[in-house]
Amino acid sequence: MISKKIVIKIPTGLEARPVALLVQVASQYESNVYVECEEKKVNAKSIMGMMSLGLPAGEEINVIVDGSDEEVAMENIEKYLCGNK
């Protein structure tokens, strides 16, 4: 299991379209992917869960990835959240 603090650099924050794209990125991997913000922890493969966080640009989140492809998954999720699709 690995975790990393990441600042969201997508200009619009995580609203509908960016959340859908993040869910697509996370869903490519076998690993479990979670996003923590304050006291909330949600499955990054769940559109409804991610939408419930309402994360603005500049927000710092903790991404937790656990599984066989966790390194690659974390790398690509971080690239997406930092605006380096």
Q: Is residue 33 over pLDDT 80?
A: yes
Instruction: Enter the tokens of residue 69.
Output: 């492809």
pTM of the model: 0.94
pLDDT beyond 80 at 21: yes
Per-residue confidence band for 85, with pLDDT thresholds at 50, 70 and 90? low
Mean pLDDT, residues 47-51: 97
Q: Domain locations in the chain? A: 2-81
C-alpha 49: how far from its chain's center? 11
CA distance 6 to 20: 18
Going by pLDDT thresholds of 50, 70 and 90, the confidence category of residue 83 is confident
Q: Which CATH superfamily is domain 2-81 in?
A: HPr-like (3.30.1340.10)
Written as six digits, the tokens of 40 are 């909330």
CA dist., res. 34 & res. 66, Å (int): 9
Calpha distance 72→63 (Å, rounded): 13
